[in-house]
Amino acid sequence: MHNDILKQPTPVFPFIPEKRTYLLSEYPAFLNWTKLVIIAPMLTPVRLTPSQIENKLDRILLKVQKPGRYVGGELNSVVKNWDSVKTTVAFVFPDIYDIGVSNVGLKILYDQVNQREDALAERAYAPWLDMEALMREHEIPLYTLESKRPLASFDLIGFSLPYETLYTNTLNVLDLAGIPVRSADRDETHPIIIAGGHSTMNPEPMHAFIDAFVIGEGEEVIHEIIDTIMSLRPSGSNLIVNEQIASPPTVSRNDILKELAKLHGVYVPRFYETYYLEDGTVSHTEPTIPDIPKVITKRIVPILPPPPTRFIVPNIDVVHNRVSVEIMRGCTRGCRFCHAGMITRPVRERSVDEIIQAAEDAIKYSGFEDLSLLSLSSSDYTDILELVTKVSEKFDGKNLNIGLPSLRIESVSIDLMEKLKQSGRSSGFTLAPEAATERMRRIINKFIPDEEILNTTREIYRRGWTTIKLYFMIGHPSETLEDVQAIADLCKRVIAEGRKVIGMKAKLNAGVSTFVPKSQTPFQWVSCDTPEQIKAKQALLRRELGRDRNIKLSLTKAEDSFLEAWLSRGDRRMAEVVYSAWKNGSKFDAWDEGKKYGAWIQAFEEQGLDPLFYTHRQRRTDEVFPWEHITAAVRKNFLFQDFRQSLEGQIRVDCRLNCFACGILPTFANMRRENPGDVWKCPDVKSPAHSKQLLVTSNQLPIVGD
């Protein structure tokens, strides 16, 4: 049934004689966009005390996998006296503890808030399926690990949403906490619900459930949000007195959200209305109240603040059990498929001394034996050789493994390989060519000649590494089966080079994902591959690479790519699909044990939407996107120009070498002017300062250099 639905052509909408735009609530009935399902919270509104929760936990923890996920008390976790603070914050990563405890964004915000004397931050994660079932059976609300207080007792709850497959889990977490899933159903006694992360650069599929989105970087704006809530909400207004809900605050929830909407980089969806054209595409989105921006521009910090160093040491073995220090933020390479590279501009680097001090402190406080130097492209860090050399010298003899998780083939020098080898990293080495033909590399703006790839991988094997992992994508615009065949051929050539050096010890892991067009990138105009195309390309790779025991091939399921595509470029109507899919039983959509693809197809049917509208439809060149009122400060006309260049096979060089006027500098000109020099990798701003920081206030972004 699912494949038959996916194969249906994009519907042709009936012509409506009166040419006009529509509010979602008045959309033509024949399209059935607005079908709603209302449910009551699954948990009782009576909130348990910490001691009551702990007593209930004592009866169930030995019945679940990994009870250590749910007990707290980890080394370096922060437990504050609730009576000594004015505002309480719970940060939630809506996946299991094993994944969420290592999330860098959550670590940063947890550290930022707990440095304040007037606020506290605690953590919660999504319980696994076995624990959730017992919590519902025993009526245990979701609680934070530090104090065992219910999430509903906090003033502010912040969700980290780095990827779209966390959306149904977010609804599930709210429901487990006894908090109304929909923003419109919450009143003054409920916490303010905010969310941030890379996926929220298109927040529309979650607009109905989140009170306010943080667009961009959170280190500064989280304090502004707390200060706003603190000034308007009486201390303890959301706490419990004798297990009953405290008296509502004097300021309405709507008034608090209006003040939040005035903060730079904060988007409050309830104060914006989206209008649609007759063909189902967006006409425009506009604010419904005065004094808030038409376009919300992302927040950035001018200089990266000191990184957290007191890392929480997990109770159990987790996915990334290590110290991680962000060495730089942003990327200058301009890969056209890369969402993170486009939305995290400009590049800002930390100094070598600051990184080494942070690493030393973090290792001292945690005892971890692995250090990861994080960035989108670590080998592009200006002083990478000096950094690796000094880190190796600093921790010589301490059995510390140093990892650079993101390396560019063209910037991996032999000297860097030697330094990494000396640091103790000798098992695997990861590179990401992404494509295997010159034509495709020009299209995606990641041009690396085959010979350079072969020379680099040969030197890696020669220096003692036995396993190389290569990342590729299939499904790039205009890709053919010949381009996919080239991936298999390149893998064979790489393993052959390894065997020349170390014989049959040479191993190759080929990870091949399926390309999903993302918002705020040059490829936001293109369509996804069809199921038939993906099936044919993956079959070719299995046939070509499956016979060699030393080559391990990993592929992404087509269904996973479609789910990501629906949510990453969806409009407000997708919120009802998310809700219906969750009600139909889908959660943990990144896990085989939880996701239910059929529940999503059923949700589309229930809402009268065609999934092909969001995946296999080429966007018009003049199409208004659902996220048009959200900007990463990279101009839409710059992205379109880059898209056109991809069609012609033209490449852009690293923008450290040549500024292409993407829009970052005019948007943040005053900030750059106040922070000159190498702290940013954009050119200095020489023009006189304006009285106001330039903010984007309309759908027409600033034009510079076209």
Task: Supply the range of the domain harboring residue 246.
Answer: 54-293
pLDDT exceeding 90 applies to what percent of the chain?
Answer: 80
Q: Which of 133-137, 165-169, 337-341, 694-698 has the lowest mean pLDDT?
A: 694-698
> Per the structure block, which two tokens stand in for 544?
């070509």
If pLDDT is split at 50, 70 and 90, which confidence band does 12 have?
A: very low
Q: Is the pLDDT of residue 446 over 60?
A: yes
Per-residue confidence (pLDDT) for residue 398, from 0 to 100: 85
Q: What is the H or E stretch that residue 509 is in?
A: strand 507-514
Per-residue confidence (pLDDT) for residue 497, from 0 to 100: 96
> What type of residue is 627?
W
User: Is residue 119 one of the residues assigned to a domain?
Assistant: yes
Per-residue confidence (pLDDT) for residue 238, from 0 to 100: 52
Q: Per the structure, how many domains does the chain have?
A: 1
Give the distance, in angstroms, between the CA of residue 550 and the centroid of all CA atoms in the same chain: 33
User: Is residue 321 one of the residues assigned to a domain?
Assistant: no
User: Is residue 470 one of the residues assigned to a domain?
Assistant: no
Considering only residues 385 and 14, tell me which one the structure prediction assigns the higher pLDDT. 385
pLDDT, tens digit (0-9, with 9 covering 90-100), for 212-249: 999 999 999 999 999 999 999 766 555 443 344 434 55
Arithmetic mean of pLDDT, 612-630: 96
Nearest CA-CA partner of 170 in 517, 575, 593: 575
Q: Which of 8-12, 299-303, 692-696 has the lowest mean pLDDT?
A: 8-12
Angle at 16 between CA 15 and CA 22, to 5 degrees: 125
- In angstroms, the CA 82 to CA 64 distance is 30
Q: Is the pLDDT of residue 93 over 70?
A: yes
User: Is residue 48 one of the residues assigned to a domain?
Assistant: no
Q: Taking a C-beta distance cutoff of 8 angstroms, is the pair 432, 333 a contact? A: no
Q: Is the pLDDT of residue 482 over 80?
A: yes
pLDDT, tens digit (0-9, with 9 covering 90-100), for 190-216: 999 999 999 999 999 999 999 999 999
Per-residue confidence (pLDDT) for residue 249, from 0 to 100: 54
Arithmetic mean of pLDDT, 14-31: 34
Residue 607 CA: distances (Å) to CA of 60, 204, 573, 586: 38, 16, 8, 16
Q: Is the pLDDT of residue 148 over 70?
A: yes
Per-residue confidence (pLDDT) for residue 379, from 0 to 100: 86
Nearest CA-CA partner of 601 in 593, 613, 609: 609
Per-residue confidence (pLDDT) for residue 215, from 0 to 100: 98
- In angstroms, the CA 229 to CA 235 distance is 10
Average pLDDT, the chain: 88
Per-residue confidence (pLDDT) for residue 424, from 0 to 100: 61
Q: Which neighbouring-strand residues pair with 90?
A: 122, 157
Per-residue confidence (pLDDT) for residue 320, from 0 to 100: 82
Phi, psi (deg, nearest 5) at residue 630: -120, 130
User: Is residue 223 one of the residues assigned to a domain?
Assistant: yes
Per-residue confidence (pLDDT) for residue 405, from 0 to 100: 79
Per-residue confidence (pLDDT) for residue 23, from 0 to 100: 42
Arithmetic mean of pLDDT, 442-451: 94
Q: Is the pLDDT of residue 689 over 50?
A: yes
User: Is residue 163 one of the residues assigned to a domain?
Assistant: yes
Per-residue confidence (pLDDT) for residue 19, from 0 to 100: 32
Arithmetic mean of pLDDT, 41-69: 85
Arithmetic mean of pLDDT, 425-454: 89
CATH code of the domain in which 125 resides? 3.40.50.2300
User: Is residue 80 one of the residues assigned to a domain?
Assistant: yes
Angle at 458 between CA 457 and CA 464, to 5 degrees: 95
Arithmetic mean of pLDDT, 178-199: 97
Per-residue confidence (pLDDT) for residue 439, from 0 to 100: 96
User: Is residue 236 one of the residues assigned to a domain?
Assistant: yes
Q: Is the pLDDT of residue 24 over 60?
A: no
Per-residue confidence (pLDDT) for residue 402, from 0 to 100: 85
Per-residue confidence (pLDDT) for residue 32, from 0 to 100: 35
pTM: 0.90
Nearest CA-CA partner of 194 in 163, 144, 229, 233: 229
Per-residue confidence (pLDDT) for residue 29, from 0 to 100: 33
